[in-house]
Structure 1
Amino acid sequence: MSRPLSEFARYLRTETTGGLILLGATAAALLWANSPLRDSYHALRGFRLGPEFLHLNLTVGDWAKDGLLALFFFVAGLELKRELVVGELSRFKQAVLPIVAAIGGMVVPAVVALAVGWGTPGIERAWAIPVATDIAFALGVLALTASNLPSSARVFLLSLAVVDDLGAIIVIAVLFTTGFDLVAVAVAVVALALYAFLQHRRVRTPWLYVPLALITWVAVHSAGIHATIAGVALGLLTRVRGDEGEAEAPALRLEHRLQPWSAAVAVPLFALFAAGISVDADALGAVFTTALPLAVLAGLLVGKVVGILGASLLAVKLRVAEKPRGMGWRDLAALSVLGGVGFTVSLLIAELALPDEASELAKAAVLIASAGASLLAAALLLRRSKVHARIADTASSGAEPQTPAGGEPPGPPNSDTL
């Protein structure tokens, strides 16, 4: 049974709202960190709370990064599982293009970042910063600027971002695992196995699942693995097919309940404590004159576009995938630019990969690149939306199609013309 379009609309509305709140939180962080009250910002971000037991005496910034983002990754895990089992990624022909595009959109930015920053201290981990695409911001820009694009554009972008999240999760798990506590790993594995067993037995009470989720998070954190991986693992183990007589499958029910908290609370609070960087003239100048932030900029603004569009073009030309219905290469080019909005996961990787001073420069590069990609993609998507609107009006009126301003050839939007 195919996933209803209303479900995509619901997801889009939540992520659009979350994107706007995220933008507000980022602006608040930048203003606060560059105001006369900057000392209070850094004091709050560095304030420690929590028991020392199991290494949980963390700063507020770390609680946002390790705790709140676990909720974000849990929702991402639910979405990924549902896409793979009953959604767009469950059908081979529909799944191939966003998967190939996402892989291209991770590999090429990493290669570009390594090429630009080669020999710079920290680049051996910082190459991972531009591999991510931010779902909330990307879908928010798409919703605001591309109302006349076919629904396949939203499906393609959402599927690409979900696969991209999986890639980022793997990168975080492999690159940023510090130490390895076998006892804690064993506890996490047992808790996850019990969670999967309860799902299989159709147990529904939160009185079991909430403690299990907390035990899993603490165990993964104590094991030296980044705690957000616990959220992903739990999401992937959640049942996505509803039983007969069941109104909603557990994955869909949890997504409905938790996604607003993730999009409107968890991610914006993370941004509030992650995006508070100095934006004076010296700091901004360093972004454009230092190899490492330039590598991040190039990876997001150049590598993402080349990777997503190039991989898509290659897959279609080799006949291993098909273009989304109703979309042309110019539409895919605009969506590829939108892939350069790294933000949430890119900021997370910058914090994990680099020491404080280098991390600040890398995060400034992420913010600048994400803003630039958003504005350029918005302009391109607005133009494409107008083209699709004219084509739809022409088709409904039965009039002879006219060549649009700017020399765009008439014809269906899925023309192979670049």
Structure 2
Amino acid sequence: MASAPSNRPGPPGGTPPQPRVFARGSYLEYRRVAEILRKETVGGALLLIATVAALVWANSPAGDAYFALRDLHLGYAPWHLDLSLGHWASDGLLAIFFFVAGLELKREFVAGDLRKPSTALVPIVAACGGVVVPALLYVGVLLTTGSEGLKGWAIPTATDIAFALAVLAVISTHLPAALRTFLLTLAVVDDLIAIGIIAFFYSTGLEPVFLLLALIPLGLFAFLVQKRIRAWYLLAPLGFATWALVHASGVHATVAGVVLAFTVPVLRSAKAGGPEAGPGLAEVFEHRLRPLSAGVAVPVFAFFSAGVAFGGLEGFVDAAKDPVAIGIALALVVGKTLGIFGSTWLVTKTRHANLDPDLKWIDVFGLSVLAGIGFTVSLLIAELSFGLGSAHDEHAKVAILTGSLTAALLATVVLRARNRHYERVEALEKVDADGDGVPDLFQRSEGSS
């Protein structure tokens, strides 16, 4: 994934070997990431089904019923919780998605392969490049046209890991473990940047009293999880209370999911035997909630957010004329690719590192194109930018779908062409000649680090 010492002996005279980018990490991390990706792939398939169902229903003769269901209000008015089903999905269910993303991010940097700054550098820089370049490209398009849609600058900055993995599953690519881990890490860091953007740029009408009150259930939640208490009937009400108060404060409620996740300990306590005794509480919660996030929360959100009435050919033409749609599509397909690939190449060259011998730069390019699939968070930011159901929002959704589909098709062409090579690499990663349960390549890699 990221840089690590080379497994090959260094040159004579004791000169240290050059660092290597996308080298294999530890076998334990490989197994954990593989399990996460399997769940996300299933979630991606459900996401595709939900999206297609929403689009078909919204453009059918019964389309009015879809929008009536999406706009149906349920809830409790005093705490700003009288929300439509669409808003319950975007503000409520996505908080679960960001809670799981927060757990994953914290675990990566506390106990995963990214706890070493030298290893974490490449995916973090790549994620930042994948945010900055699309945003600048979008702003450039909007400035040249004089459009008023500049507040949508953050729409094309997100990468949808579930959708990307669903595409990988469809094209049956045997992407090497290091690249899959890089894709997952990049998407998680991307999500963290996105939630920061949402918190700072898309929170309105701040009410400090509610924000201060949210510290009470948050503090109780943190106290219980630090004591390694995992009783759902205690933690769930505190989590919901934190979410509700953050929502009432004017800060977007999904921020509560990340904040709650960051309070959960990653390592087991010394009393429980320490890290060697088994998974920590963060990993336990992640294991329990990831199916709910990937299998329910994200697909339901997609169902209520992806439904847009195209209005036939005329509707597509109208969207194509909107600079907002043009900027989003270009930023997803071109901006994401340039940002991620360029940042990865630049940080590799400035550190005088080399790619892992099993990989080529075309592999990194294909992965960068694949990261242009921006869906879940892009749809959320589009709604926050322009308002649900507005003309720009509808055009933004068309652009998100079009740009994501284009990125998926282009990535398929590039990655599929390298599939036989990936298959050979994957076969090597499974060879266990001594029968000890750990593939020989990982033993050599771990032994030389």
TM-score, structure 2 normalization: 0.84
Q: State the partner residue of 1:15.
A: 40
1:128 equivalent among 148, 154, 167: 154
Q: Does 1:195 align with 2:221?
A: yes
- Equivalent pair of 1:187/1:219 in contact (CA under 8 Å): yes
- Counterpart of 1:208 in structure 2 is 234
Question: How far did residue 204 of structure 1 move?
Answer: 2.7
Q: CA deviation at 1:385?
A: 1.8
Deviation at 1:53, TM superposition (A): 1.9
2:93–2:301 Cα contact (<8 Å) kept: yes
Query: Structure 1 residue aligned with 2:360, among 296, 309, 328?
Result: 328
1:140 aligns with 2:174: no
Name the residue aligned to 2:413.
379
Q: Is the 8 A contact 1:96 1:320 kept in 2?
A: no
Matched, 1:229 2:260: no
Q: Relative to structure 1, is the Cα distance of residues 393 and 362 closer, same or farther in structure 2, using a 3 angstrom cutoff?
A: closer
Residue type of the partner of 1:369? G
Counterpart of 1:150?
Answer: 176
Counterpart residue number, 2:204: 178
**Pairing 1:63–2:97 present:** no
Bigger shift: 190-199 or 152-161? 190-199
CA RMSD, 1 decimal: 2.2
Equivalence map 1:243-254=2 (5 Å):
243=269, 244-245=272-273, 247-254=278-285
Is residue 306 of structure 2 the alignment partner of residue 275 of structure 1? yes
Q: Which amino acid aligns with 1:328?
A: K
* CA distance in 2 between partners of 1:336 and 1:167 (Å): 17
In the alignment, does 2:287 pair up with 1:256? yes
SS in 2 for 1:230: helix
Look up the equivalent residue of 2:53 and give its one-letter code.
A
Deviation at 1:320, TM superposition (A): 7.1
CA drift at 1:346: 0.3
CA contact (8 A) 1:341 1:371 kept: yes
Structure 1 residues 320 and 106, CA, compared in 2 at 3 Å: closer, same or farther? Answer: farther
| Per-residue Cα deviation, 1:114-168 (whole angstroms, up to 9, x for no partner) | 0011154443211100000001011222344364332101011111111111111
**In structure 2, how many angstroms separate the alpha carbons of the residues matched to 1:165 and 1:146?**
26
Task: Report the CA distance shift for 1:60/1:107 in structure 2 as closer, same or farther (over 3 A).
Answer: same
Contact 2:173 2:415 in 1 (8 A): no
Residue 339 (1) aligns with residue 360 (2): no
> For the structure 1 residues 313 and 40, does the alpha-carbon distance in structure 2 shift closer, same or farther, using more than 3 Å as the test?
same
Cα distance change of structure 1 residues 388 and 54 upon mapping to structure 2, 3 Å threshold: closer
Alignment correspondent of 1:37: 62
Distance 1:320 1:183, change over 3 A: farther
The answer to whether the 8 A contact 1:153-1:327 is kept is no
With 317-326 and 162-171 compared, the bigger mean Cα shift is at: 317-326
User: Between the two proteins, what is the percent identity of the paired residues?
Assistant: 47
> Structure 2 counterpart of 1:4, which letter?
E
Q: CA deviation at 1:381?
A: 1.0
**TM-score, length basis structure 1:** 0.90
Q: Distance in 1 between matches of 2:347 and 2:267?
A: 31
Following the alignment from structure 2 to structure 1, what is the Cα–Cα distance between the partners of residues 357 and 122?
A: 12
1:81 alignment partner in structure 2:
106
Is contact 2:147–2:323 with CA below 8 Å preserved after alignment? no
Deviation at 1:357, TM superposition (A): 1.0
Matched residues in 2 for 1:100 and 1:310: separation? 10
Q: Give 1:173's aligned amino acid.
A: A
8 A contact 2:173–2:422 mirrored in 1: no
149-158 vs 359-368, which deviates more?
149-158
Which residue number in structure 2 is paired with residue 115 of structure 1? Answer: 140
- C-alpha distance in 2 between matches for 1:196 and 1:326: 44
Residue by residue, what CA displacement relative to the aligned partner does 1:17-44 show, whole Å, maximum 9, x if unpaired? 0001100000000000000101111111
Cα distance in 2, alignment partners of residues 358 and 18 from structure 1: 28
Q: SS where residue 50 of structure 1 aligns?
A: strand
> Does the Cα contact within 8 Å between 2:358 and 2:425 map onto a contact in 1?
no
Q: What is the deviation of 1:196? A: 1.9
**Which residue of the partner structure matches residue 415 of structure 1?**
none
Q: Distance in 2 between matches of 1:161 and 1:19?
A: 14
